[in-house]
Amino acid sequence: MATEPLAGIRVLDLTNVLAGPYCCYQLALMGAEVIKVERPQGGDLARVLGADPGRNKAGMGISFLAQNADKKSVTLDMKSAKGKELLKRLVQTADVLVENFRPGVMNRLGLGYETLRTENANLIYCAISGFGQDGPRRKDPAYDQIVQGLSGVMSITGAPDTAPYRVGYPLADTVGGLTAAFAISAALNANPRGAFLDIAMSEAVISTMGWVVSNYLIGGVTPGAHGNENTTSAPSGTFATTDYPINIAANRDEQWQALARHLGREDLLQNPDYATREDRKRNRHSLRKDLEETLRTRSATEWVNELNALGVPTGQVLTVPEALSDDQLAGRGLIGCLSVHGEEMKLAGSPVVMDGQRRMPQYPPPDLGADNSVIWSELGLSSAEIGALKKEGVI
């Protein structure tokens, strides 16, 4: 494999649970050395989160396992005077520091950006929060569902009679983490280096809402919940078959015509309610009902194969297990195996394929404080000093 893009970059990961750890996991997959700096008592909260109580009890919860491979772990009490000094010394060796405390916490600890930049003028300091480092909501909790609600996402998720609904996975945390990883990668390319990155999860989410936001800002259309319907075209949405639901996106006139003809529903092409794109959008629900009269007569697999062959974009609606076992995903190697304490464990690698190769985790998620001896020794501490700091609860 060619030299990894972020080889030689040291990242201090002071984050907890998801947005920050996911950000730093992406950086680790690209070759950065990522050192998790965790509380001596318990570490990252994600260590006790997940669907397996036994793993939670062992400090290796599934939520932690999911985005902490390829990292090192040291423990540090940043509230203690000795802990503050150790972090400053560690910062002197780093390129990037990522934290997701509430705004102001690091300043109160005496470890804010202005302080740490005196230790390392080239430091890229990335602060991830729910709503940003200033503004009236800056100190509000940054839980994913809270951010989803306040960013407007929940108001447009679900159908008119079921919204608001949360997106079924931690969208705000994940999008916030990806945004932070992108910003850090860009800042690493600056010359000279050194920057304070203020990443608000809410703003990252709103940025990804694209034309939903633009339709309101430019077109004056208030976004709403439309279930599985694509409001930009019709027929474009989810349709029933004899077994599994399928998505059809007949967004162009020629696709709509090919769909109707293949279903043997030329009568729909003569229906004035469906004559134009705008007509079909206005009458989308009756159109779906008419199409499903035929679609319900055969299986999802048959329709998907036949309609795609005609140039009408169609795909099954899969469960998560089905998606993970699908030949397309499995064949591209997104999911890899890693040995964790002798157990073969499946973990997702990088979503990026670069020059035909996908970066996969090479080392298991670390036990709490697993790298204390190595990392603190690198800073010049003796074994006796490390032992004393551990006894004092500093590390």
Q: What is the pLDDT of residues 14-24, one digit of tens each?
A: 999 999 999 99
In a 10 Å sphere around its CB, with 0-12 CB exposed, 13-18 middle and 19+ buried, how is residue 267 labelled?
exposed
Residues 53 and 171 in one domain: yes
Q: Which of 268, 287, 317 is the last residue of a domain?
A: 317
How many folded domains does the chain comprise?
Answer: 2
Name residues whose C-beta falls within 8 Å of residue 309's C-beta, 6 or more positions apart in sequence.
none
| Distance, CA of 288 to CA of 261 (rounded, Å) | 15
Taking CB atoms within 8 Å and a gap of at least 24, the contacts of 306-313 are: 306/262, 307/248, 307/259, 307/262, 310/258, 310/259, 310/262, 311/254, 311/255, 311/258, 312/248, 312/250, 312/255, 312/258, 312/259, 312/262, 313/248, 313/249, 313/250, 313/251, 313/255
Residues 174 and 48 in one domain: yes
- pLDDT given at position 141: 87
Residues 25 and 119 in one domain: yes
Residues paired with residue 354 on neighbouring β-strands, in sequence order: 357
**Domain of 295, in residue numbers:** 236-317
Residues 43 and 132 in one domain: yes
Is 322 inside a domain boundary?
A: no
Residue 27 near residue 96 (C-beta atoms within 8 A): yes
Residues 308 and 339 in one domain: no
Could you tell me the pTM of the whole model? Answer: 0.93
| Distance, CA of 21 to CA of 126 (rounded, Å) | 12
Residues 154 and 83 in one domain: yes
Residues 155 and 193 in one domain: yes
CATH number at residue 97: 3.40.50.10540
Is 325 inside a domain boundary?
A: no
Name residues whose C-beta falls within 8 Å of residue 255's C-beta, 6 or more positions apart in sequence.
249, 311, 312, 313
Residues 307 and 258 in one domain: yes
Query: Over the chain, what is the mean pLDDT?
Result: 96
Residues 28 and 168 in one domain: yes
- pLDDT given at position 240: 98
Residues 75 and 177 in one domain: yes
- pLDDT given at position 2: 55
Name residues whose C-beta falls within 8 Å of residue 163's C-beta, 6 or more positions apart in sequence.
154, 155, 156, 157, 224, 225
| Distance, CA of 81 to CA of 85 (rounded, Å) | 6
Is 188 inside a domain boundary?
A: yes
Residues 246 and 174 in one domain: no
Is 231 inside a domain boundary?
A: no
What stretches in the chain show pLDDT beneath 50? Answer: 1
| Distance, CA of 176 to CA of 165 (rounded, Å) | 20
Q: How many CB atoms lie within 10 A of CB 250?
A: 24
Residues classed as catalytic: 173
- pLDDT given at position 1: 47
